[in-house]
Structure 1
Amino acid sequence: MTSFILLAALLVVAVAAILLPPLLRAPRSSGGADQREATLAIFRDQLAELERECANGSLAEADFEQAQSELQRRLLDDIQPPTSGQSDARPGRKTALALLVVLPLAAAGGYALLGNQAALDPLQRQARVTPQQIEGMVAGLVAKLRENPDDSKGWLMLARSYKVLERFPEAADAYSRAGALVDQNPELLADYAEVLSRAQGGDLQGKPTELVERALKIDPNEPQALLLAGAAASDRRQFALAADYWARLLAQVEPGSEEARALATAVERARELAAQTASGKPAGQTAVASGSAVSGEVTLSGEIAGQAAPDDVLFVFARPDEGPRMPLAATRARVGDLPLRFRFDDSMALPGGKKLSDFKTVSIEARIARAGKAQSSSGDLYGTLSGVKPGSQGLRLLIDQVQP
């Protein structure tokens, strides 16, 4: 913005430099009586010329009288001396002073009224890329990579683009083709682990965990790798290890921030579960005793059963009925596992999230994800139970709807 203001000021100065000198130049002397005599002589010559034209018929009588009156008026204006108290200076200096004030004020006022001040912000000037534009760029990049499959940077760019589009299986495949560019970079290894996990419905076990461990060997404090490592350890019910990973990450974030509060909650919860396990109590026993657990069975309606394959991914979620729709607990299975028994309690709370017992009612949703990801997409088969109170048992959840 500073550069723009300086440039605008220079332009105003340049315009003023062009306009003001002629206006500020001192007026020429009128020459007193000699000047008036010269003016009268010119008047007489012009009047004589008008009379000749009228005499020879080239100028009508009415036009002659009008031209004569105009000459007389101009003559009076030219030879009339200034009256007492009247300035004999030309109006140029007043005009110059007015321009010095008006030009900058008019420019500033006009821009404030009609301009777009946000356009001066470099961040606001950045183009907003739409998903359609990204799709077009991805298609072009895929075409280039077919011709040059050894372009590691191209595969990396494609992986990140697929991640933005939430096409996680394709993103994971692109990361796998980026080779040494990913293998030696802890941040890219952690990102690869995340997209691979999301392609597997949130499962961090197996190769995602291997990628996270490789990232932490290169950089023991890589933030995303620490977050994923803690989540993977929690999934394995290694709560003390999960607390350790998240505590190392907590030391890196801004104290008092929302991220810090969420991590602190996750660390505290993981330590509580670790203490329960060490004391010989099953992890989550306190939550169960409080009556917050919900359980039931998921079945698939025969009317839409033909639209699902046995290997299609099935997700079952518990979500708050009110407030943010982030899952409180979740489980993953296959259509071939139906009818499926499920059970959610506070011990299954997602890292940094709230628990079932924090809400008066929740919704239980079962979704057959045709795209293999937890986010809903067209063609998914689903069913929902709303208004479920924590502690409810023997629920019956029917998958009987199709996502438009």
Structure 2
Amino acid sequence: MTLLWVLMGAMALVGMLMIIIPVIKYQDQHELSGDVINSMVYRDRLKELDQDLQEGRILASDYEPLKKELELTLLDDVEASQPDQKLKRSGHLSLVLPLIVIVPVAAFIVYWSEGYRPEVGQWFDQQKKMERILPILMAGDYEAVEKEGVGLDDLIRALQKKIQTHPEDHRAWYMLGLSYLQLRMPQQSELAFRRALSLDPDNVDYVMGYTQSALSANGGELTTEIRQNLELLIQQQPDNPKPYMSLGMALFQSGDPKSAVGVWQAYLDRPQTDPRAAELLQKSVAMARQQSASMPEARSEHADPAAQTAVKPVINVRVDIAPEVKSQLKSSDILFIYAKAAQGPPLPLAVVRQPVADWPVAAVLSDENAMTPTMTLSKFDKVVVQARISPTGNAIPQSGDWVGPTQVLELKSGAQSASLRIENRMP
């Protein structure tokens, strides 16, 4: 902040000099003094008088009196011009001195009223704080950083600044990837992890971070590459719960809860497990087993083919909006209407995405607009229907989105209706 005030003072000084220096030099460069002017006039008149004498327009006896009269006139003019010169000099200084005060004061007033923002000082203070905290973060002392109350936005800016000066710091790239992942920015996270891996290819933590970001970027869909990476990590670090968690969740979201249970149980059966991870995985196993048991036989892969031809569920959704919300929307905002399993994976079973338009909005949710062919409405008995408006168009809910109460439906064959109203903003 001190540097800012020094720069502002220097700029005010330069501006003041740019105004005052021309004012000081103006008279010397462009104005002639009264004495000089009178002298020039005297020489011109004397020249005319000599020419009149030569050409005979005046007599020789009249020449001397006229010359003396001209000299006396010059003396009178010089004496009369002395007070005027003093007055000019006095007026000149009286203009310069106020400018020395007026210019910096006016500059400060204009800056304070038009250019100053309290956020500028806060930004400089935050930069000093991040310079102190960033080494602690890079050392892995996350608890100390958390106590400082540093936001992810400030942390990302600090990491980006560090990477600009040290682009080969793979640890900074890794921390940046983790920060993006927490902000649900999988594409940016994947790029950061990929850069960290290119600098340190054998680091298992970097492989795990890259795999998690790739899963998030693919909407939880398990690709062959991601599965191979996770299985390799399990082989390399059999006591690390992270690859078990990620692989099991990916299998679960892909509609294979039995395989997910097998992966999670493989970690739980190990002689040494992390207590917190084991507790979380036990809950996940119970949820997956419940989900697997709740799937009707008619909807399983081994169900009767005749039953599979039954009419599939269709949800006709009507979405309205509160007037105070409508007045704050932009034409670039995106409306999401979707249905999720009441008990099961968080991945939407059916979703409609469209720009905001006239209200109320009507949409149809069915197996036709499922995100993956293995996770559809017809495979679940109970769903939660919800609508959300995103100013950024992000498919993942985040702060600033507009939402409303959800509606739970017991699915049945054929068409059903749901009514939603958007009226709140996510904190």
Please give the range of the TM-score, normalised by the shorter of the 2 chains: 0.3 to 0.5
Structure with the larger helix share:
2
TM-score, length-normalised on structure 2?
0.45
